[in-house]
Structure 1
């Protein structure tokens, strides 16, 4: 098996994709990584499909210029709207991220699953089709208006954010959901706030661990693993606020400003 030291490339509409980066780095600590946070254009969820495809191609091409051996679309909205176009355009493994409705649908006891996601994800054809696979499950969908903007601004523990979350999730709880799917890579950062008011019996699911396992599988199948067991480097780039990105990577690397 060859030792492929080229980096994994990840991009998101902002800092949310760092939740995916953390999961991948935990599973694959020897891999080199490059992360792009396109915060200046966040949130993608309020943009047209055409805009999302254009931005996703821009990010992908920048990562390819950095010699990325695989692209991880660390953004639910970009995945549901642009991943097919990316796969048709670029001859490189491309991993997408979708709301983890399958495990929720398979394990629900009440038959009701809450999904909190962006407008771009919930209104996409890909997501709509995914729900039809589980006709006996009622999906209670809620667009997380304003959440991404607050996280991008670093207002993670603000009263405004907590108030928004309560207004979105209380009706779901009242309808007896037993699983809540976080359908945006920004949203796992909400867990400390959610634990303050969600019932302890309600299971919260996100895609990060599944994406990390999928990345390992694709790298192995394509003989792309870095096998030297030397710690990998991690580069993080944003086109907006370096300080906010730095606060979300917990000393795992140095965030830098890049115009893209």
Structure 2
């Protein structure tokens, strides 16, 4: 059985599970590292310690074929692209460049990523100079998902989303990268509010990459969920978004 471990500081990276399951059958182990939520407010040195410790823990307990760091924040800041069998999640900037008609794109990411020069280098590497790029602090949107407000308080959530997105639409941005794995949960609301705007999910690229590097496959897909915080609270959060899998303590 192929094993893929995915982890994040909360429920956000569960958004990449379905795209992976569409591409490959595997046992997927999801770990919500709630004790360290949110990654987006940690320093780079704190993140480095947390990520290294978590990777070792997952390797020792589950022996996965691949580990996915399901968050743009540590993936970018710790240069995960260079890690063997450790896959990061990155803003899908090349696709954004292909899709924009106005020549202007927005990156919705956590405050820590937006303010770090590493994102500037990533943009320079993946985006031609002729394309205008706006870095946007989407931490309030991440919080809408993690707290469940996007389900429980839809109108308030819509108001917060509009407050963040509309100023950039007025500047001509027509493509946004959802550069946090929490944000795809907001896609139905985003499409309702802004039907003519493109919002790109980074999970598609991750799933495609995994399907290419995993040569052997399993007969069936299976998902096991673990958490480091209060598993009863996390179980309730998952039920709100329609996930009924049992949560185990790790």
TM-score (structure 1 length as normaliser): 0.85
Q: Does 1:256 align with 2:248?
A: yes
Q: Does 1:178 align with 2:174?
A: yes
2:52 corresponds to which residue? 57
Of the three residues 130, 137, 153, the one matched with 2:131 is 137
1:52 CA drift (Å): 1.1
Unpaired runs of 5+ residues, structure 2, are none
Do the aligned residues in 2 keep the contact of 1:245 with 1:255 (CA within 8 Å)? no
1:66-118 C-alpha deviation (Å, 9 max, x unpaired): 1111111111112012244982xxxx511111111111113312111122111
Most deviating of 96-105 and 113-122: 113-122
Residues 46 and 141 of structure 1, relative CA distance in 2, 3 Å threshold:
same
Residues 124 and 22 of structure 1, relative CA distance in 2, 3 Å threshold:
farther
Do the aligned residues in 2 keep the contact of 1:73 with 1:79 (CA within 8 Å)? yes
1:245 CA drift (Å): 3.0
Q: Does 1:236 align with 2:229?
A: no
1:195 CA drift (Å): 2.1
Count of aligned positions: 241
1:17 CA drift (Å): 0.5
C-alpha separation in 2, matches of 1:197 and 1:178: 13
Residues 10 and 144 of structure 1, relative CA distance in 2, 3 Å threshold:
same
1:203 corresponds to which residue? 198
1:226 corresponds to which residue? 217
1:114 corresponds to which residue? 106
1:148 corresponds to which residue? 142
1:20 corresponds to which residue? 16
Q: Does 1:164 align with 2:156?
A: no
The SS at the match of 1:156 is helix
Q: Which has the higher helix share?
A: 2
C-alpha separation in 1, matches of 2:212 and 2:6: 16
Residues 40 and 162 of structure 1, relative CA distance in 2, 3 Å threshold:
farther
Q: RMSD value over aligned CA atoms? A: 2.0
Of the three residues 182, 187, 191, the one matched with 2:183 is 187
The SS at the match of 1:105 is helix
2:64 corresponds to which residue? 68
Of the three residues 73, 78, 87, the one matched with 2:74 is 78
Do the aligned residues in 1 keep the contact of 2:10 with 2:33 (CA within 8 Å)? yes
Q: Does 1:128 align with 2:120?
A: yes
Unpaired runs of 5+ residues, structure 1, are none
